[in-house]
Amino acid sequence: MTYIYDKDEIKGRVHSLESFGLVDGPGVRFVVFMQGCAFRCKYCHNPETWGKGGSTWTARQLFDKVYRFKSYWRNNGGVTVSGGEPLLQMDFLTEFFTLLKAKGVHTAIDTAGQPFCSVPEWLERFEKLMSLTDLVILDLKEWDSNKHKLLTGMSNDNVKELAVWLSDHGKDIWIRHVLVPGLTDAESDLKAMGEFINTLKTVKKAEILPYHALGIPKWEKLNLHYDLSDAVSPTEEQILHAEELLGIKK
């Protein structure tokens, strides 16, 4: 049977697809990168996802594309939606995840949490999406709110609120922090972040992601100024020290 697409269906803006992801959740993942993000992280490795653009899909079209790869996932993989910032397209994701969960697929969202708010109408839509989401991979980019604003252009108060909401509602969380020497590695901030993570009841994993400069060519292609041209990747010792401050146990 051929599916007839309704012109009134919700459309999603997708930047790109990756059929064999190994670091975006448990097992082998099909990763969908959504278009659009309000943060302007100084080290962003996907600046091309910030604005408008990407290809337009209905949830059914995307599901039909993704589900062809189900044999890769075996018993412990699934689908992760990343970005950009996927929470900017919640209604589309809800339709997409509804189709995936009907087939028993494990679903994950990789988010920086920027859109989160307690406005009842928004929160109602968010709760519906979370009912279909097995795992939230949350990027904690910086602990101090002022430093976070300098790093991303926005405060992180609502990001912390999101983490608490997920914990209070029993939603599994993976925490990630990008370690940039001289920028996101202050001992006091890492220690405070670690203490905060320790208060969350549903964190299944926390990890340090070492900064890399692989995104610089993308900035240059977009004629964007890259402020961190002198930044270097952290040493193994710096990574281990940050993990210790965050309370990460190997």
Domains located in the chain, CATH noted: 11-246 (3.20.20.70)
CA atoms of 208 and 213, how far apart (whole Å): 16
pTM for this prediction: 0.93
Mean residue pLDDT across the chain: 92
**What distances in angstroms separate CA 128 from CA 61, 74, 94, one per listed residue?**
21, 27, 7
Which pLDDT does position 21 carry in this prediction? Answer: 81
Query: CA 51 from chain center: how many Å?
Result: 17
Interval 56-77 mean pLDDT: 92
Q: What is the pLDDT of residues 129-171, one digit of tens each?
A: 999 999 999 999 999 999 999 999 999 999 999 999 999 999 9
